[in-house]
Every structure is written in structure tokens, then in C-alpha cells.
Amino acid sequence: MIPHRHDAAALDRRGVAWGLVGVAVTLAITFIGSDGLLWFDAALIGYLFGIIFMVFGVIYRYSVWVRRPSTAMLNRRGWDAFRQRKAHNAAALPSLVATQLLAQGFIRRRSRARWLAHQLVFWGCILAGLITFPLTMGLLHFESVGQQGDRYQVFVSRVGTMSFDADSVLGWTIYHGLDIAAVLVLAGVFIFLRRRLRDPGALAVERSGDFLALAGLFAVAVTGLFLTVSSIWLEGRFYAALNTLHALTVILGLMYIPFGKLFHIFQRPGNLGVAYYKRANAEGPAAVCRRCGDEFASVQQVADLQAILPQLGFDYDAADGAGSYQDTCPKCRRAQLALAQSARVGGFG
Amino acid sequence: MRADVRYGIDDSPVFVIDQSRCIGCEACVQACMECGTHRGQSLIHLERIDRAATTQTAPMVCMHCEDPTCAQVCPADAIKQTEGGIVQSALKPRCIGCSNCVLACPFGVPKYMAEIDQMMKCDMCTDRTSEGLKPMCASVCPSEALWYGTIDEVRENRTGSLLRDFMFGRQEVRTKVYTVVDDLAAGPIDVMRGQAASWLDDPFELESGGT
């Protein structure tokens, strides 16, 4: 297995501290946003526990991850590159977010089915999060308008916003927002499952987390839909049990986020930093291969790597002290290896 | 050697690369595309060593380092190693396309695919080797420059000694994949030093004026 460069067993103090700050901020938002817990629904306390655990876990892991030598370097360089041309880069940000993080065209170029599945799961989860998190934290509630009970107003904390008729299309959509999210997620999960179960290549490189993430999303979506089924078609039968089951799947799902495959949600935005880093490097000087003299990368990235490698315990400097092997382009590395190997068997042929 | 041999766990087959045997037929390049984990993409490298001087080529697959530099320099922690020592292609949800691995790998193996903004590399045909089959490239290589089999088969069928230690400057790297040398006692292959070119383009030294 890949050796860890740091003591993996010890709890990271800085990670714990940042995690606790995150928990405190979440609790403060809940307290203030729910108007001193006035609009906090005590029935959702289990969900709040799940959110708090998730916040702590995600911040803890992020804090540890972002301080790995290579991650820290890229994080620093990404921000450096952003600040170099702040106005220009800020203007480019919406388009980068739209293409890289939201539209995810890089997945579409890999496979349309995968892209469709990911988009369905992605937007389903976003929709579910936008509804569940504010509801759980008491930031969002509904009040009836007048005495008829057929018209409701949406309140964000204390602020009244739009109102709608309960029987209108908008009303139906709002009440069934989580059902819509569940259908989107389920559709995506089935496409992913189909591929995972039928593609021998995907099965071969399967990691336990791949199925677990899909199983978790499936469980949350299906148990959530059962609640609607119970209230609409079963006259509320089994609701209490289904409600507990759904809460359990959601809470376990939230607790899984920091540890499992879904943590990529928080790592992926690093791709924006890479985009800025690459753009800045493309405008800078190019590194020249010590063997063939061709340009093969940016001076900046090669220098950054050579700064990281000793921190990771690697020493690619030439034995005679004349430069570094890392100044060789990948093509010449392959050629050099072939020459060195052939020399040990009496030449080619 | 038959291509459809199926090895069991106890056979402990090994991958052997002997670049000096390459005849440049490109069968491996085509076969690599058939690998189930990256269908349609050939991830093997077939290098023309010195195009001006010779037609000599050499293949390069992932050597699956015991302590992979590519994984250590990956900022997204996207490159994982299986319990069997296979260094896998970047995890797709994690890889952020920075190319650190491409630039750091001492063997020059990972490829950055700009189209999908991802790194991809040889994973020793995990779909096949996990079921005891030979990797695609080794199953088609006619000169056995790329070879897969048991240690007993090595002894029976191949010359030379197996070695899996390399020096890159001061950095020693041990790999899962073996290479072949005649002189095991000489130690690891020193990649920055061993540069003697010996082509077979002119085996009787007619063009170079030999007698």
C-alpha cells in the first residue's frame, strides 16, 4: 500500500479546531435563522445531528487534505494565479463554474450515459439539499395566509417571501420538491448501476465505496418516496415507521459524506484552481528537457514539483549533483530507461 | 506461449518488460485499446528511441512502483494502489487534471487526456489479471518484450535475470513489474547513467565501415 507520509492514527488538532468552528457556525446559523429556535422543528433534531456531524467531518477531512504537500502547493498556486489578474479571473469565474462544476462537460466527453446519470444525481441532490438543510435548520417555514388554509407564504427566517395557492402547480411543485429530487436521483442511480453491473471493466476497478454511495442514494430516495406513498395512497399507514427509516438513511448518508466517495463534491472545485494555475503557467516560461532540449511543461510547475518531492521523501537529484532527473521530459525518461535496460542485456535485439 | 492461459492466485504470475526485445510491431498499442478498464484508449507508450539514427522502438507500461511518486504528488489523492500492488488509474471523481503525476513519474507513464481533463494510465489490465488472464499487451507481444507468467515459466523460457530496482539520480525505485538484465550483481538499473546505444540496424557494421 502507498506509505503515508504523516502519522495517520493521530487526530489532527487543526482539523478538529476548524471542524468545531464549523459546528459552532452551523449552530449559530440555526439559532439565529430560526428566530431563537421559534421556527426550529424539534421533530427534525435527528437530521440536525446528521448535518452537524457532516459539517465537522467534511471540514476536518478538508483541513487535513488541503495541507498535504502537493495539495497545499496547488492551493497556494491556484490563488496566486487568481490574484495575478484578479479582475480578469473573477470575470472568468462564472463561466468556469458553469462549465466545469455545473454542466460537467468533461464527463459528457467520456460518456453521455455517465454524464446524464451524474447530472440527474447532481441536480437531485442539489435540490434536496436546498430544501432539506434550510428546513432542518429552521431557516425556512410556511405560514397560511388568511383563514382559508388554501394559501401559504414562504418565510426565510423572519422574512416573508412569495405566497402560493396550495392547489396550484407551484404549490404542488413546492410540496413535492423532495419527491422530484428523489425521482431524479433514482433515475441517475439506475443508469449508474446498470453500467456498474454490466461493464466488466467498471466491475474490475470497483471500489467498495462505489456501490455504497449508490446504495445510500437509493435508500434515501426510496424511503423518502415511501413517505409520499403512505400519505397519499395508504392513508398515512406505516408513516411513523417509514419516517424513522427515512430519517435513519438520511442521517447515515450525511455521516457518510466526509468519509466516502461523495467527498469528491468538496474536492472537485480544486479543478478551478488548476484551470487558473494552468492558464498562468501557459503564459510563463516553458521548462526545457535536459536531454532533448524540447519544451515539455511550465518552469513554474516543474519547480513546484521539485519543491514538493523532498517533502515527500523523494530525491531525484543527479548523483553527481548536476541537476535533477525531474528536468527530463516524459518521452526522454522512457527512452533513457530503454537505453539503460538494453545496455544491461548487451544491447537491443 | 498461449494467450488464453488462466493463472490461479497461488501461481503468483509476474509481468516482465524487456525493452531490448521490442520489434516495433505496435501489436501492444492496438491490444491496449481492448483493455476493459479503458476501452478505446491506448495507454501504452511505444517510444522511438532515436529516430534519426535507428528504427529501434521500446514499449513502456506502468511499472507499478511500490511507493508510487505519481500517487504521492497527486494533490487530489486520486491515485490508489490495490492490495496486490497495482497502481490504478486516477479515480475519475477526484482527478482534477493538474498533470503533476505526468511530470513526476520517473518512467514517464501517466497520460493527461485534455478532452476529459483526466489522467489515465496502465492498470495492468485489472479486468483480465484479476481473473488470472494475461494483460492484453503481453498476450499479443510476438517478441516477448512484454511478458506475463510465473517465475517457473521465466526459468523455463527466458534468458537473463529478473530485476525490479531502478535508480533515477539518487532516488531508488522498486517496482512490481520486472525487467531483465544479464548482470544481476551490478545492482539497480541506473537510468541517468546507462546511455550506451547499441542498435541492430547495422548488425554486420557494413554501413559504419566495419569489416
Minimal C-alpha gap between A203 and chain B (Å): 8
Name the domain count of chain A: 2
Does A196 contact B at CB distance below 8 Å? no
Confidence class for position B2, pLDDT limits 50, 70, 90: low
- Each residue's pLDDT expressed in tens, for chain A with a length of 349 residues: 566 655 556 889 999 999 999 999 999 999 999 999 999 999 999 999 999 999 999 999 999 999 999 999 999 999 999 999 899 999 999 999 999 999 999 999 989 999 999 999 999 999 999 999 999 999 999 999 888 778 999 999 989 999 999 899 999 999 999 999 999 999 999 999 998 888 888 888 887 778 899 999 999 999 999 999 999 999 999 999 999 999 999 999 999 999 989 999 999 999 999 999 999 999 999 999 999 999 999 999 999 999 999 999 999 999 887 899 999 999 999 999 999 999 999 888 7
Which residues, other chains included, contact A21 with Cβ-Cβ below 8 Å and sequence gap of 6+?
Answer: A59
Task: Assess whether A221 and A256 both reside in one domain.
Answer: yes
Q: Verify that A270 and A307 share a domain, yes or no.
A: no
Position B154 scores a pLDDT of 93
Distance between first and last Cα of chain A? 36
Q: Do A342 and B198 touch (CB under 8 A)?
A: yes
Q: Using one digit for the tens of pLDDT, what is the confidence trace for A294-316? A: 999 999 999 999 999 999 999 99
Looking at the structure, tell me whether residues A269 and A298 fall in a common domain. no
Nearest Cα of chain B lies from the Cα of A246 at a distance, in angstroms, of: 27
Which of B64, B103, B128, B143 is best to mutate for the A interface (most A CBs within 10 A)? Answer: B103
Q: Say if residue A186 is in the same domain as residue A322.
A: no
Task: Enumerate the residues of chain B whose CB falls inside 8 A of the CB of residue A340.
Answer: 189-191, 193-195
Q: Report pLDDT for A4.
A: 61
8 Å CB contact of A333 and B191: yes
Question: Does A348 map to a domain?
Answer: no
Rounded Cα–Cα distance for residues B66 and A34 (Å): 54
Domain boundary among A214, A240, A274: A274
Q: Determine, yes or no, domain membership for A8.
A: no
Q: Is A104 exposed, middle or buried (0-12, 13-18, 19+ CB in 10 A)?
A: middle
Q: Which residue has the cell 485499446?
A: B33
The strand pair at B111-113 and A151-156 is best described as: unpaired
Same domain? A250 vs A309: no
Q: Can you tell me the distance from the alpha carbon of B190 to that of B173, in angstroms, rounded to the nearest whole number?
A: 10
Q: How many CB atoms lie within 10 A of CB A20?
A: 14
pLDDT band at B123 (very low <50, low <70, confident <90, very high): very high
The range of the structural domain enclosing residue A25 comes to 13-274
From the list B18, B81, B190, the residue facing A340 with the nearest CB is B190
Whether B196 has a pLDDT exceeding 70, the answer reads no
B116/A205 touch (CB, cutoff 8 Å), yes or no: no
Is residue A349 assigned to a domain? no
CA A44, A45, A50, A53 torsion-angle sign: positive
pLDDT per position as a tens digit, B22-55 = 999 999 999 999 999 998 999 999 999 888 888 8
Same structural domain for residues A339 and A205?
Answer: no
- Pairing verdict, β B171-181 and B14-17: parallel
Same domain? A169 vs A298: no
> In this structure, are A140 and A25 located in the same domain?
yes
Q: Do A339 and B49 touch (CB under 8 A)?
A: yes
Contacts of B130 in chain A (CB under 8 A): 204
Report the mean per-residue pLDDT for chain B: 91
Last residue of a domain, one of A249, A274, A299: A274
Is A291 a member of any domain? yes
State the pLDDT at residue A206.
81
Does residue A1 lie within any of the structural domains? Answer: no
Give SS3 for B112: strand
CB A54 within 8 A of CB A254: yes
Nearest-CB residue to A339 (from B186, B197, B203): B197
Please judge whether A348 and B50 are an interchain contact, meaning their C-beta atoms are less than 8 angstroms apart: no
Same domain, A223 and A290: no
Question: Any idea what the CATH number is for the domain that residue A119 is in?
Answer: 1.20.950
Q: For residues A154 and A211, is the Cβ–Cβ distance under 8 A?
A: no
CA distance B2 to chain A (A): 23
Domain assignment present for residue A27? The answer is: yes
Residue A213 lies in a domain: yes
Distances (CA, A) of B142 to B27, B45, B54: 8, 17, 20
Residue among A200, A268, A305 whose CB faces B127 most closely: A200
Beta-carbon contacts of B208 under 8 Å, excluding residues fewer than 6 positions away, are B202
Please check whether residues A295 and A186 belong to one and the same domain: no
A330 touches chain B (CB under 8 A): yes
Asked which of A244, A274, A304 is the last residue of a domain, the reply is: A274
Segment B66-116, tens digit of pLDDT: 999 999 999 999 999 999 999 999 999 999 999 999 999 999 999 999 999
Residue of A2, A73, A114, A324 to mutate when probing chain B, most B C-beta within 10 A: A2
The pLDDT-based confidence of B194 (bands split at 50, 70, 90) is low
Domain membership flag for residue A242: yes
pLDDT of amino acid A267:
93
A246 with A294, same domain: the answer is no
Q: Are residues A95 and A173 in the same domain?
A: yes
